């Protein structure tokens, strides 16, 4: 039996990790969302019409829809011809930082409230928002509390950070993806180490097996000359305590070697994670 056999039969090397936002928690959040949406009109900055999500992505994203979606910010949208101006993009690059000028920030945010159709109509490239440190810190803090957002939380964050709810949503999606990717990398490293440990363990066991075989041949005649053949062939050694044990439930002078009496009949593998010290008898 080789190492591959051991891995295939005795170890689950999957790296999947269940994320907490799955399952019923997710559904509860959706339920909350539905309840909240019923009263969207009561929220200060919400408007009637399609969600910001669809206003940004569906085929019907026209300027009039954008104005419905973003309400009082429609003027910013309609005035975003400046957005297609490369100079405004350059300006944005310069203002990112701790003490970002508030007016420029507001302009930047307003410019970011542009529908895809606006990009297409004006042939301008997709603009990329850069969060400033304060926005980033707030989002991070919120993410630490809960990796998913209720619509209410999303709206509140968006208002607090002067971002679109859709941007907050996207940020959380990407943040979850990054977290999962990091965790996958960690798991991968862990599995590599596991593989190395098992390889070493396998080598060690193979070596011990060879030693035991030679020992059995050399010692069988003088030590077990009077013993039945079956007792001799079941001679085993515990890989951890390295005591020689007789097979068949402790035959002969098995009183001192009984703890390892089952090794001869059953595979005896050690999980390096559950038994870091290769386990003891």
Binding residues vs DNA (CB under 7 A): 19, 21, 26-27, 29-31, 33-34, 37, 50-51, 53-54, 56-57, 89, 92-93, 96, 112, 116, 119, 125-131, 136, 148-149, 151, 154, 166-167, 169-178, 180
d(C-alpha 67, C-alpha 60), whole Å: 13
Closer to DNA by Cβ: residue 168 or 232: 168
d(C-alpha 181, C-alpha 176), whole Å: 8
Closer to DNA by Cβ: residue 17 or 204: 17
- CA-nearest of 66, 18, 163, 168 to 105 is 163
- In the complex, the smallest distance separating the C-beta of residue 82 from DNA, rounded to whole angstroms, is 13
- In the complex, the smallest distance separating the C-beta of residue 64 from DNA, rounded to whole angstroms, is 17
Closer to DNA by Cβ: residue 41 or 128: 128
Closer to DNA by Cβ: residue 173 or 262: 173
d(C-alpha 217, C-alpha 48), whole Å: 88
Distance from the Cα of residue 217 to its chain's centroid:
52
- In the complex, the smallest distance separating the C-beta of residue 53 from DNA, rounded to whole angstroms, is 5
d(C-alpha 249, C-alpha 256), whole Å: 12
Closer to DNA by Cβ: residue 151 or 239: 151
Closer to DNA by Cβ: residue 131 or 156: 131
- In the complex, the smallest distance separating the C-beta of residue 115 from DNA, rounded to whole angstroms, is 8
- In the complex, the smallest distance separating the C-beta of residue 126 from DNA, rounded to whole angstroms, is 4
Closer to DNA by Cβ: residue 183 or 265: 183
C-alpha distances in Å from residue 207, one per residue of 12, 203, 204, 212: 25, 6, 5, 9
CA 15, 20, 25, 27 dihedral sign is negative
C-alpha distances in Å from residue 280, one per residue of 163, 240, 243, 269, 275: 59, 6, 11, 12, 8
- In the complex, the smallest distance separating the C-beta of residue 116 from DNA, rounded to whole angstroms, is 5
Beta bridge partners of 262: none
- In the complex, the smallest distance separating the C-beta of residue 266 from DNA, rounded to whole angstroms, is 38
Mapping DSSP onto H, E and C, the string for 114-147 reads: CCHHHHHHHCCCCCCCCCCHHHHHHHHHHHHHCC
- CA-nearest of 151, 185, 142, 145 to 20 is 145
């Amino acid at each position: 039996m080789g190492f591959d056999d051991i891995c295939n039969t005795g170890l689950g090397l999957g790296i999947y990790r269940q994320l907490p936002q799955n399952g019923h928690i997710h559904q509860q959040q959706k339920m909350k969302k539905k309840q909240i949406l019923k009263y969207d009109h009561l929220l200060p900055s919400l408007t009637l019409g399609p969600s910001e999500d669809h206003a940004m992505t569906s085929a019907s994203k026209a300027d009039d829809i954008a104005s419905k979606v973003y309400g009082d910010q429609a003027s910013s949208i309609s005035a975003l011809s400046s957005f297609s101006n490369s100079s405004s993009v350059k300006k944005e690059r310069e203002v990112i930082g701790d003490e970002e000028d508030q007016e420029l920030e507001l302009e930047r945010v307003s410019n970011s409230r542009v529908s895809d159709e606006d990009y297409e109509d004006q042939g301008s490239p997709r603009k990329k928002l850069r969060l400033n440190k304060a926005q980033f810190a707030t989002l991070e803090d919120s993410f630490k509390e809960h990796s998913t957002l209720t619509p209410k939380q999303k709206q509140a964050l968006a208002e607090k950070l002067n971002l679109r709810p859709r941007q907050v949503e996207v940020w959380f999606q990407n943040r979850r993806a990054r977290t999962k990717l990091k965790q996958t990398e960690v798991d991968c490293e862990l599995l590599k180490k596991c593989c190395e440990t098992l390889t070493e363990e396998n080598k060690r066991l193979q070596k011990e097996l060879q030693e035991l075989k030679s020992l059995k041949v050399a010692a069988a005649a003088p030590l077990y000359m009077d013993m039945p053949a079956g007792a001799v062939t079941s001679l085993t050694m515990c890989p951890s305590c390295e005591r020689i044990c007789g097979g068949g439930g402790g035959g002969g002078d098995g009183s001192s070697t009984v703890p390892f009496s089952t090794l001869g009949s059953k595979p005896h593998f050690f999980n390096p994670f559950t038994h870091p010290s290769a386990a003891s008898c």
